[in-house]
Chain A
Amino acid sequence: MSTVTRPSASLANERRKDLIQKFAAFASLIVMILVFSSTSEAFHTVDNAMTVALQVTSIAYLGVAATCVIITGGIDLSVGSVLALSGVVAALAVKAGLPVTVGMLLGIVVGGSCGAVNGLCVTRMRLPPFIATLGMMLVARGLALQITGARPVSGLGEAFGVLGNGSLFKIETIGADGFPDVRFPGIPYPVLLMIVIAVAVSIMLSRTTLGRHIYAVGSNAEAARLSGVNVARVTMFTYVLSGALAGATGCVLMSRLLTAQPNEGVMYELDAIASAVIGGTSLMGGVGTISGTAIGAFVIGILRNGLNMNGVSSFIQQIIIGLVILGTVWIDQLRNRR
């Protein structure tokens, strides 16, 4: 009877929707790759694949962070500025004679601290996340410009460039079958870091109590609080994570350029939010996955790269990416209304 058919049908429905969402984003990614491969000779090359992967990394780091914050029902607009501040702090520290590793860790700590301030503003001062992080966006950018006198920091030495430009080569080995394995073309460190971060955060979200609490806070903060979830601490964590990942992004970007630019990363927060939203994260909170965001980041990255390859002007690119964001979220809305 209806009592039985209704819930099972709805569950199947729920699953199907989930699949369609994942599939739709992924399918559009594939379609894009096919289209660009046919329109541009250079698109379908290993070199270009690596370029795309590299370009995607910064969006992906920030997208992963944005996903966590957005799942709690918040938003972090400060990441673009925070990455600039972290990058220049790391560079100045290295310039002052600190080892590169220490300098970069310092940069990440600075990023995490900015996130902590955001978190405190949201949890203690009860500012709306939009306002709290908008403030930090201005403060961090101002600080970065102030401490560098708005000039790029260069002459950082080769060691500073390793993180951004180096890659991991698989060493030739003799396999069990007696044949030497083919030499791996090399995975850039930033790409490696992206995979590590995405996998780690994905596991954190889906398999740990902390992750469950993040979803619970975004799904119904009051219910979570009354269930004994430390809502302030969970919220705080996501902002610190966001700041720290912005810090790491800053270090990677500046390392790649071998120069620390205080005006780097303008509007990156919007790319990050866009990748999360394209990947199915709901700005209402409680819904979102890292795999979705990864797809979202690649959608943006490949779109940009492919349009570049086809000689589309950057103005037109902006228009197209804007329309893609509107389209994806609209489809998502339609899906949820069904």
Chain B
Amino acid sequence: MRPDAGHPGRLDLEVVLEERLAPAHASASGPAKTPTAEAPYGTARHDGNAELLRLTGVTKRFPGVVALESVSFDLRRGEVHAVCGENGAGKSTLMKIISGQYPPDDGSIIYKGNECRFASSLEAQAVGIAIIHQELNLVPHLSVAENIFLAREPHRGIFVDRARLRADARRCLDRLGVDIAPGTLVRTLSVAQRQMVEIAKALSLDAEVLIMDEPTSSLTETETSQLFRIIHELKRAGVGIIYISHRLDEMTEIVDRVTVMRDGRYVSTDVFRETTIDKVVARMVGRSLEDKFPPRTSVPTEEVLLSVDQLTRTNVFSPVSFELRRGEILGFAGLMGAGRTEVARAIFGADLPDGGTVRLGNETLAIRSPIDAIRHGIAYLSEDRKANGLSVNMPVASNITLAHMDAVSNRFGFIRFAAEAAVAQRYIDTLGIRTPSVRQIARNLSGGNQQKVVISKWLFRDSRVLFFDEPTRGIDVGAKFAIYELLDRLAAQGIGVVMISSELPEILGMTDRVAVFHEGDLVTILETRQTSQEEIMHYASGRMAASDTPDASGASQ
């Protein structure tokens, strides 16, 4: 059995919702503190490895479930303390207790030597505990400076002192070494830049404890290393950082200690240098993980299933040509914004291409919309599950059958509910979706299980070509493994699979060939077995131009 540790807990969702509401509320009625641009940075409050925060025996119950059971945790000045655990392990709940969004039912929080009981996130913020959420909380239509000092704007009379606002913001950003003009509108910034703004905001609040929830999940490698540089700076200044991430590999660069949680319980705390990632993972899942990837059982055939010739979208990607064989897993590697998703969407008809042909078998397709693509057996699983993949407030069964309603309805369009439930149950069983019932609302499932629901939708549609866009983003280790196994099984059935992924180990572990994209160009196609992470990065970062390589599509043989 695959322990995918899916906690289809609805509580998590509500938590997320509250998270979204709370900061808005917080800033609206924020403390009338004068903005201190002279923030923690550089100031002398570095007193060695002093303890900043200690939690003992913290317990949190929700109706019907114990979310945290007697958890202990401590944080020192100038350290990065990672908290690891699968989805539903209780990390978010713990962070919400630390940042004052939930009161604990039991246990104590000692912050800088005093026992604390925060009534709201506002109170926690006031004493220097800030959280940077996975989904950033900035106002897109305001400038960077306005966001940093939102509800704390410097005033001159009844007017905002715009000059000082900018100067203060400039100082905050400069301290982080971030090159963003304070007057820029936040909506024009990249995700990475927004994150920097969030950090600047937290520091302007005099934060001494900084909680970062999956900060790198949507960053490129360069942006990640910039973030890490800033984290190192913060450590030097004595800020204690609690770091949550699913990307265990990157932790080696910054993490000092790591605490593992499982099923709402504390498992262990180790000095990171004295343990290994494998040990951490084994503790997270409660078993030793032999391998991160299942052995490939499928063998690609020689038969070309999908052939894309000179597909173009002006200003989005240059002409792209590649072939996909029956039973093959083809990887799309590249940095964020390299055009991988855009190519997949153009083939699927989600965005219309400006030129080029797509052939499936011997048939040239004229795809004007997803409806056409689906009719021909092409499926696309979007990278943003919640935004584009799942109807979160519809039941699991309705989500599974949504792309193929004809199969569960009669010729007058009446749904055959028994048939629908049977179909849904079949996929729940074969894919091991953890849900109490086919009628469960999709939003109540965990990320991994939601992803399986979306996959079920396309399996039920009898797709011949499946595009998986970041299929394992934001889901935990066990669920990832299950999805890899599934990809392999699909390929073994003769389905052509395209896997778009930003995680190179995943590309190397799962694909037969890999198409590398750089800034809207398909630079080259490599045989996975004969390439390396370094070579792929080489092409993906544009250090090797397309002209240096032989004919791109020919490189497959």
User: Do A223 and B388 form a contact, CB below 8 Å, given A7-B8, A208-B414?
Assistant: yes
In the bound complex, CA of A222 to CA of B380 (Å): 12
User: Do A216 and B7 form a contact, CB below 8 Å, given A6-B65, A9-B64, A11-B436?
Assistant: no
Q: How far is the CB of B195 from chain A (nearest CB, A)?
A: 25
Q: How far is the CB of A236 from chain B (nearest CB, A)?
A: 15
User: Do A220 and B382 form a contact, CB below 8 Å, given A7-B8, A210-B413, A228-B371?
Assistant: no
List the A residue with the shortest CB-CB distance to B345: A226
Which residues from 175 to 208 on chain A have a C-beta closer than 8 Å to any C-beta of chain B?
A: 207-208
Q: Is B439 part of the binding interface, using a Cβ–Cβ cutoff of 8 Å? A: yes
List the A residue with the shortest CB-CB distance to B384: A222
Q: Is B167 part of the binding interface, using a Cβ–Cβ cutoff of 8 Å? A: no
For B392, the chain A residues whose CB sits under 8 A away are 219-220
State whether A225 touches B370 (Cβ < 8 A): yes
For B375, the chain A residues whose CB sits under 8 A away are 228
Which residues from 212 to 228 on chain A have a C-beta closer than 8 Å to any C-beta of chain B?
A: 212-213, 215-216, 219-220, 222-228
Interface string of B223-266 (1 = CB under 8 A from A): 00000000000000000000000000000000000000001100
State whether B394 touches A226 (Cβ < 8 A): no
Q: How far is the CB of B93 from chain A (nearest CB, A)?
A: 11
From B47-55, B100-108, B399-407, the one touching the partner chain is B399-407
State whether B382 touches A2 (Cβ < 8 A): no
Q: Is A230 part of the binding interface, using a Cβ–Cβ cutoff of 8 Å? A: yes
Q: Is B9 part of the binding interface, using a Cβ–Cβ cutoff of 8 Å? A: yes
In the bound complex, CA of A11 to CA of B434 (Å): 13
Q: Is B28 part of the binding interface, using a Cβ–Cβ cutoff of 8 Å? A: no
For B341, the chain A residues whose CB sits under 8 A away are none
A226 contact from B382, B393, B413, B444, Cβ within 8 A: B382
State whether A287 touches B393 (Cβ < 8 A): yes
Q: Is B437 part of the binding interface, using a Cβ–Cβ cutoff of 8 Å? A: yes
For A45, the chain B residues whose CB sits under 8 A away are none
Q: How far is the CB of A287 from chain B (nearest CB, A)?
A: 7
For B391, the chain A residues whose CB sits under 8 A away are 215-216, 219-220, 223-224, 286
State whether B440 touches A7 (Cβ < 8 A): yes
List the A residue with the shortest CB-CB distance to B371: A228
A216 contact from B264, B373, B374, B402, Cβ within 8 A: B402
For A208, the chain B residues whose CB sits under 8 A away are 409, 412-415
Q: Is A316 part of the binding interface, using a Cβ–Cβ cutoff of 8 Å? A: no
For B8, the chain A residues whose CB sits under 8 A away are 6-7, 10
Which residues from 291 to 334 on chain B have a C-beta closer than 8 Å to any C-beta of chain A?
A: none
Q: Is A47 part of the binding interface, using a Cβ–Cβ cutoff of 8 Å? A: no
For A228, the chain B residues whose CB sits under 8 A away are 370-371, 373-375, 403
For B67, the chain A residues whose CB sits under 8 A away are 2
In the bound complex, CA of A94 to CA of B197 (Å): 68
Q: Is A96 part of the binding interface, using a Cβ–Cβ cutoff of 8 Å? A: no
List the A residue with the shortest CB-CB distance to B449: A7
B380 contact from A10, A213, A226, Cβ within 8 A: A226
State whether A7 touches B434 (Cβ < 8 A): yes
In the bound complex, CA of A207 to CA of B420 (Å): 12
State whether B370 touches A207 (Cβ < 8 A): no
Q: How far is the CB of A213 from chain B (nearest CB, A)?
A: 8
Q: Is B66 part of the binding interface, using a Cβ–Cβ cutoff of 8 Å? A: yes
For A212, the chain B residues whose CB sits under 8 A away are 398, 402, 405, 415
Q: Is B387 part of the binding interface, using a Cβ–Cβ cutoff of 8 Å? A: yes
Q: Is B350 part of the binding interface, using a Cβ–Cβ cutoff of 8 Å? A: yes
Q: How far is the CB of B120 from chain A (nearest CB, A)?
A: 16
Q: Is B509 part of the binding interface, using a Cβ–Cβ cutoff of 8 Å? A: no
State whether B390 touches A10 (Cβ < 8 A): no
Q: Is B63 part of the binding interface, using a Cβ–Cβ cutoff of 8 Å? A: yes
Interface centre among B6, B67, B264, B403 (most CB of A within 10 A): B403
In this complex, how many residues of chain B approach chain A with their Cβ under 8 Å: the count is 53
Q: Is B11 part of the binding interface, using a Cβ–Cβ cutoff of 8 Å? A: yes
User: Do A227 and B394 form a contact, CB below 8 Å, given A3-B434, A11-B437?
Assistant: no
In the bound complex, CA of A231 to CA of B64 (Å): 39
For B370, the chain A residues whose CB sits under 8 A away are 225-228
Which residues from 43 to 77 on chain B have a C-beta closer than 8 Å to any C-beta of chain A?
A: 63-67
Majority-rule SS of A interface residues: helix
Interface string of A282-322 (1 = CB under 8 A from B): 00001100000000000000000000000000000000000
Which residues from 256 to 281 on chain B have a C-beta closer than 8 Å to any C-beta of chain A?
A: 263-264
For B394, the chain A residues whose CB sits under 8 A away are 215-216, 219, 286
A2 contact from B263, B373, B403, B409, Cβ within 8 A: B263
A11 contact from B348, B402, B412, B439, Cβ within 8 A: B439
State whether A223 touches B434 (Cβ < 8 A): no
Q: Is B435 part of the binding interface, using a Cβ–Cβ cutoff of 8 Å? A: yes
Q: Is A174 part of the binding interface, using a Cβ–Cβ cutoff of 8 Å? A: no
For A10, the chain B residues whose CB sits under 8 A away are 8-11, 64, 440, 444
- Chain A, interface residues (CB within 8 Å), range: 20 to 34
Which residues from 102 to 157 on chain A have a C-beta closer than 8 Å to any C-beta of chain B?
A: none
Q: Is A13 part of the binding interface, using a Cβ–Cβ cutoff of 8 Å? A: yes
State whether A209 touches B63 (Cβ < 8 A): no
List the A residue with the shortest CB-CB distance to B394: A219
For B9, the chain A residues whose CB sits under 8 A away are 2, 6-7, 10
B402 contact from A7, A229, A230, Cβ within 8 A: A229
In the bound complex, CA of A212 to CA of B413 (Å): 10
Q: Is B166 part of the binding interface, using a Cβ–Cβ cutoff of 8 Å? A: no
Interface centre among A11, A210, A222, A227 (most CB of B within 10 A): A227
Interface centre among B405, B412, B441, B444 (most CB of A within 10 A): B405
State whether B389 touches A5 (Cβ < 8 A): no
State whether A207 touches B388 (Cβ < 8 A): no
For B170, the chain A residues whose CB sits under 8 A away are none
Q: How far is the CB of B94 from chain A (nearest CB, A)?
A: 15
Q: Is A1 part of the binding interface, using a Cβ–Cβ cutoff of 8 Å? A: yes
State whether B409 touches A11 (Cβ < 8 A): no
For B415, the chain A residues whose CB sits under 8 A away are 207-209, 212
Which residues from 1 to 26 on chain A have a C-beta closer than 8 Å to any C-beta of chain B?
A: 1-3, 5-11, 13-14
State whether A7 touches B371 (Cβ < 8 A): no
In the bound complex, CA of A286 to CA of B414 (Å): 19
List the A residue with the shortest CB-CB distance to B13: A10
Q: How far is the CB of B549 from chain A (nearest CB, A)?
A: 33
List the A residue with the shortest CB-CB distance to B381: A226
Q: How far is the CB of B107 from chain A (nearest CB, A)?
A: 18
Interface string of B175-216 (1 = CB under 8 A from A): 000000000000000000000000000000000000000000
Q: How far is the CB of A14 from chain B (nearest CB, A)?
A: 6
State whether B389 touches A223 (Cβ < 8 A): yes
In the bound complex, CA of A153 to CA of B348 (Å): 55
Known: A9-B65, A14-B10, A225-B350. 20 other contacts (CB 8 A): A2-B65, A2-B66, A5-B64, A6-B64, A7-B435, A7-B444, A10-B10, A10-B444, A11-B439, A208-B409, A209-B414, A212-B405, A215-B391, A219-B392, A224-B402, A226-B389, A227-B403, A228-B373, A228-B403, A230-B371
List the 6 shortest-distance A-B pairs measured between CB atoms, nearest first. Answer: A9-B64, A10-B10, A228-B374, A219-B391, A209-B405, A6-B9
Which residues of B are at the interface with A, using a C-beta cutoff of 8 A? 5-11, 63-67, 88, 263-264, 348, 350, 369-371, 373-375, 380, 382, 387-394, 398, 402-403, 405-406, 409, 412-415, 434-437, 439-441, 444-445, 457
A-B contact pairs, 28 of them (CB 8 A): A1-B263, A2-B65, A2-B67, A2-B263, A3-B5, A6-B11, A7-B10, A7-B436, A7-B445, A10-B64, A10-B440, A10-B444, A11-B436, A11-B439, A14-B444, A207-B415, A209-B409, A209-B414, A212-B398, A212-B402, A215-B398, A216-B394, A219-B392, A223-B388, A223-B391, A226-B380, A226-B389, A228-B373
